[in-house]
Structure 1
């Protein structure tokens, strides 16, 4: 789920930071540039793991900033297809179940990847799974007893398998009124706004809410809930040395 990649880049340090430790200034500048930014076709940048090399800084004419050529390792959130992860149910819509890991929320379970005999309950506004052995149609599922249904409750731990990963590059459109733009952004489906989308499968045995399968209903550990905003924002291009660094 977490990988390291080696990157070469040039970062500026402002004159007001010249009296500080250069290593800390460089790391801070790299984190501002890469943390919570999408690295195309690789994953979501989390934080600088370590700095491998750094050349002597050079001041360029005109702005007084010190530029350092550095190579470093960046920690990525980059799950692979088929990996099993535990998160929490964030929300349900008639189209999908949305899952959060605390720092990443663009994980979606479409209805096609739910267990057989699953259906969206319009009254409860969430999906449920009926564990009967025989397949049922929508009419029969709607008539099942609520006490026999297993609902996907928001806030509950859920175990899923990564089914596929989608990358979307959103290009800016023509200028619009700021108020109108904010209203449109609020109405837009979060899945459509995301640049990095994970489609999750919960149709197999052992997947779904963990309390369905764990006798004591114990919660498993999931990723630390460190907040990262705007997962759809891309990092500036650097030189990526390799796909995975040991």
Structure 2
């Protein structure tokens, strides 16, 4: 789920940071650039782990800031297909569930990956999109288990995608997510921990 990724980057260091030790100043700039950002095919940067080398410090003509070539490691969040992860319910609707790990909220369980058989019921007094999902364990005996907002939910990662950045986005569309994780609850041991 978490990886070290080695990156080489040309970094322009603002003159305001030159009073600090060079390693500390570069670390601060790298965190500003990469922390909480998604890099396609690498994942979400959670931390600048260490700086391996710093070279250069050249000041180009017409620029008052030095430019360094920095090699460093980032700790990246990128789930593996088939991995089992525990998350909290963020929201649910007729299209499925949205889960959260606290630092990452773009985990989706589509309806075709819900426990089989399952159904949803609109919550009274709420909009039509607000639903509670139920796993119909033994429907003929009336045994069905709800997926509650207080539940910790185990899911299996089905895919991780990095959609292209849209040039234009309609106002009513949901915010753009640079990394999407799709999961499944349709196996034994998956779903809310309280079920098992």
Please give the TM-score of this superposition, normalised by the length of structure 2.
0.90
Structure 1 residue 106 displacement after superposition: 0.4
* Counterpart residue number, 1:188: 173
Structure with greater strand percent: 2
* Counterpart residue number, 1:211: 194
- Partner Cα distance (2:107, 2:52) in 1: 33
Aligned residues: 190
Task: Please point out which of 138, 147, 153 is paired with 1:152.
Answer: 147
Task: Please point out which of 131, 135, 151 is paired with 1:129.
Answer: 135
* Counterpart residue number, 1:224: none
Structure 1 residue 46 displacement after superposition: 1.5
* Counterpart residue number, 2:127: none
- 8 Å contact from structure 2 (residues 116, 186) kept in 1: yes
Superimposed CA distance per residue, residues 199-242 of structure 1 (whole angstroms, 9 cap, x where no aligned partner)? 111111100001111xxxxxxxxxxxxxxxxxxxxxxxxxxxxx
- 8 Å contact from structure 1 (residues 128, 151) kept in 2: yes
Structure 1 residue 48 displacement after superposition: 0.8
- Partner Cα distance (1:156, 1:33) in 2: 35
- 8 Å contact from structure 2 (residues 48, 74) kept in 1: yes
In structure 1, the gaps of 5 or more residues are: 175-180, 214-246
* Counterpart residue number, 1:44: 44
In structure 2, the gaps of 5 or more residues are: 125-130
Q: How large is the RMSD of aligned CA atoms in angstroms? A: 1.8
Equivalent residue runs for 1:97-246 within 5 Å = 97-123=97-123, 125-132=131-138, 145=142, 148-173=143-168, 184=171, 187-190=172-175, 193-213=176-196
Superimposed CA distance per residue, residues 151-203 of structure 1 (whole angstroms, 9 cap, x where no aligned partner)? 111232100100111220123229xxxxxx7xx2xx3235xx22211111111
Equivalent residue runs for 1:56-95 within 5 Å = 56-95=56-95
Please give the TM-score of this superposition, normalised by the length of structure 1.
0.73
Structure 1 residue 80 displacement after superposition: 0.5
- Partner Cα distance (2:123, 2:182) in 1: 26
Superimposed CA distance per residue, residues 114-147 of structure 1 (whole angstroms, 9 cap, x where no aligned partner)? 1111111123621111111xxx6xxx8xxx85xx
Structure with greater helix percent: 1
- 8 Å contact from structure 1 (residues 121, 127) kept in 2: yes
